[in-house]
Amino acid sequence: MRKLVLATRNAHKVGELRAILGAAGLDVDLVGADAFPEVPDVAETGVTFAENALLKAHALARATGLPAVADDSGLCVDVLGGAPGIFSARWAGRHGDDRANLELLLAQLSDIADPHRGAHFACAAALALPNGEERVVEGRLRGTLRFEPAGSFGFGYDPILQPDGYTVTCAELTPDQKNAISHRGEAFRALAPILQDLLG
């Protein structure tokens, strides 16, 4: 089985992507970046999701000599001109503080009425091979932002985005239900046949 490195130390993401790629029929041994503690984290200096995903994938492929996959994703709010966008994970100032990010965003949108609370999750998924070859695909999940968080599944902004056509938030969906419609699911399902083709 071919080994594939996922450029994240986030156990939620590793589990989510293992499930998505497995459901897409891809037979790979997926490991997270924490399997390579000597490899430093990559500064996300890009100005788009795709640029950041490629930076991470190439850095890990070079450091490990293995094919590497990375994603960069975030929440893009219509009335904020697409923000927090690439700054989603550090919107409140400290990287990865989901609760603070959520509370700050809700406070910023507290006076915004339902018809204007449109938003989408965006994801760019990148594959980089040790020889420098690369591919990027993108996925999206549109919805509306709730005024209060709901649900205990998921992470990040999942408790406040209610996908179009649903009456619950992403955090109220089971992991399988969320993967079936999510931005990350869409991107990695599109990446799966590319991986199959390139990895054999």
Alpha-carbon gap, residue 198 to 129, rounded angstroms: 9
Alpha-carbon gap, residue 157 to 178, rounded angstroms: 13
Give the three-class secondary structure for 168. Answer: coil
State the total domains in the chain.
1
Report the CATH number at residue 144. 3.90.950.10
Splitting the chain (200 residues) into consecutive groups of 10 residues, what average pLDDT does each group show?
85 82 82 89 93 96 94 96 96 91 97 97 96 96 97 92 98 92 92 85
> Given this model, what pLDDT does residue 108 score?
97
The model carries a pTM of 0.91
> Given this model, what pLDDT does residue 29 score?
87
Please say whether the beta carbons of 162 and 107 come within 8 A.
no
Residues identified as active-site: 72
77: containing domain: 2-199
